[in-house]
Amino acid sequence: MEIKKVGVVGCGSMGGGIAQLCAQSGYQVVVSEINDEFLKKGMGAIDKTLARSVEKGKLSQADKDAIMGRLKGTTSTKDFADCDLVIEAAIENLELKKKIFAELDGICPPNAILATNTSCLSIIKMAVATKRPDKVVGLHFFNPAPVMKLLEIVKTIATSDEVLEASQKFGEVLGKTTVVAQDGPGFIVNRLWIPFLLHCIKLYEEGIASREDIDNAIQLGLNYPMGPLTLADMVGIDIVKFVADALYEQLKDPRYIVPTLVDKMVAAGWLGRKTGKGFYDYK
Ligand code: 3HC
């Protein structure tokens, strides 16, 4: 099961980051978006990130050109026809993901691995939309994908050992440390992180401390790279709500109930960095 060419469905912040990382690691990459406008935006963001690395002297212009040369943007799923691995990083909607998997199953070579970057949805439900459930696996990257050191590999009851092994090897080529989790609610990281994050938000909602003090307490007191509210703004408040709601739906554990403040922020469009306002202002 040799992986030479990788497809990525979706060129938003996660899909774009994954596509960039794969191209940086030497793979030929095809990345798709639903229209030209989104594709241009996603490819532009990758180009800008790499240009910043050139400016900082961390990447040569020739290497940047080579990485961009390995990346092909498309709006047609047919371009995945010769991919050995396709990673779906579309929005978190199970019905949409099932449709994407069924379509990829009809287009990709019979041996190709079909992966999802879902944060919290059931992977076996996507796998059964294909005729190759043994070749469906979760490859859960963390934001920003080119930088974060972890790749969570999620194995369903149908994933074959061969596909698991190929996924672990792929993770190594990307320079990641891999962990393996079963296809259960939130896998490892989100199952543990979400209750902690919601608790931090509750503290802020109850006025126990200011947003800055909560962030400083965790960042400096526990040596985290950034405070939890800053991180929530980076991930997106809508994503935090979606993941927490999905986990509550599956686990019925009150630790996954989002504070009212999160509902209000989503209703107001305060989704974090991407909308210019979340717990903090970014305008
Ligand atoms: N894309 C690509 N590269 C990025 C980037 C991005 N969006 N953001 C930062 N970087 C790179 C920078 O270019 C820089 O690279 P260099 O060292 O080669 O110059 C490096 O990351 C460090 O960036 P900065 O110097 O600008 O800033 P920091 O040192 O503060 O690091 C950070 C930024 C990597 C985001 C760090 O603060 C961090 O690790 N934060 C925590 C992130 C985290 O926890 N992510 C997980 C979120 S949960 C998730 O994704 C799961 C999902 O299911 C919800």
Name which residue sits closest to atom 22 of ligand 1, judged by CA: 147
Confirm if 123 and 153 have CB atoms less than 8 A apart.
no
The boundaries of the domain holding residue 170 are 5-182
pLDDT range class, residue 42, cuts 50, 70, 90: very high
Say yes or no: 173 and 216 in one domain.
no
Ligand 1 geometric centre to CA of 148 (Å): 7
For position 32, what pLDDT does the model report?
A: 98
Q: What is the pLDDT of residues 193-245, one digit of tens each?
A: 999 999 999 999 999 999 999 999 999 999 999 999 999 999 999 999 999 99
Confirm if 125 and 154 have CB atoms less than 8 A apart.
no
Q: Measured between alpha carbons, how far is residue 155 from residues 103, 108, 131, 175 in Å? A: 21, 21, 17, 20
**Residue with token string 């993901």:** 97
Distant-in-sequence, close-in-space partners of 40: CB < 8 Å, separation ≥ 6: none
Residue 190 appears among annotated catalytic residues:
yes
Q: Which of 32, 122, 152, 167 is catalytic?
A: 152
Q: What is the pLDDT of residues 49-77, one digit of tens each?
A: 999 999 999 999 999 999 999 999 999 99
For position 283, what pLDDT does the model report?
A: 86
Any residues with Cβ below 6 Å from ligand 1, and which?
Answer: 17, 49, 52-53, 56, 58, 119, 142-144, 146-148, 190, 225-226, 231, 235, 239, 243
Nearest ligand 1 atom, CA 142: 50
Q: Total domain count for the chain?
A: 2
Q: Which of 119, 162, 165, 249 is catalytic?
A: 119
Residue 271 C-beta-side C-alpha neighbours within 13 Å: 10
Say yes or no: 143 and 260 in one domain.
no
Say yes or no: 46 and 149 in one domain.
yes
**Residue with token string 């940086």:** 24
Question: What dihedral do alpha carbons 50, 52, 55, 58 form, nearest 10°?
Answer: -60
Q: Over the range 59-77, which residues count as b (16 or more CB within 10 Å of their CB) and which as e?
A: beeeebeebbebbbbeeeb
Looking at 115, 149, 182, which one is the last position of a domain?
182
Predicted TM-score (pTM) of the model is 0.95
Confirm if 4 and 22 have CB atoms less than 8 A apart.
no
Say yes or no: 24 and 153 in one domain.
yes
* Mean pLDDT confidence for 254-266: 98
Looking at 148, 182, 216, which one is the last position of a domain?
182
Mean pLDDT of the chain: 97
For position 250, what pLDDT does the model report?
A: 94
Strand-pair category, 136-140 with 113-116: parallel
Ligand 1 geometric centre to CA of 227 (Å): 13
Q: Reply yes or no on whether the pLDDT at 1 is more than 80.
A: no
CB atoms within 10 A of CB 158: 17
In sequence order, the β-bridge partners of residue 177 are 150
Q: What is the pLDDT of residues 74-106, one digit of tens each?
A: 999 999 999 999 999 999 999 999 999 999 999
In sequence order, the β-bridge partners of residue 115 are 87, 137
Residue 88 appears among annotated catalytic residues:
no
pLDDT range class, residue 183, cuts 50, 70, 90: very high
Percent of the chain at pLDDT above 90?
A: 99
Full strand arrangement of the beta sheet holding 150-155: 71-74, 28-32, 5-9, 85-88, 113-116, 136-140, 150-155, 177-182
**Residue with token string 């698991």:** 164
Looking at 160, 182, 204, which one is the last position of a domain?
182
pLDDT range class, residue 7, cuts 50, 70, 90: very high
Say yes or no: 101 and 12 in one domain.
yes
Is residue 200, in this structure, part of any structural domain at all?
yes
Query: Which tokens hold the place of 25?
Result: 């690691």
Residue 152 appears among annotated catalytic residues:
yes
Per the omega criterion (within 30 degrees of 0), is the bond before 228 cis? no
For position 203, what pLDDT does the model report?
A: 98
For position 147, what pLDDT does the model report?
A: 97
* Mean pLDDT confidence for 141-147: 96
For position 245, what pLDDT does the model report?
A: 97
Q: Measured between alpha carbons, how far is residue 35 from residues 86, 121, 235 in Å? A: 19, 25, 23
Confirm if 251 and 204 have CB atoms less than 8 A apart.
no
Nearest ligand 1 atom, CA 20: 2
Say yes or no: 164 and 248 in one domain.
no
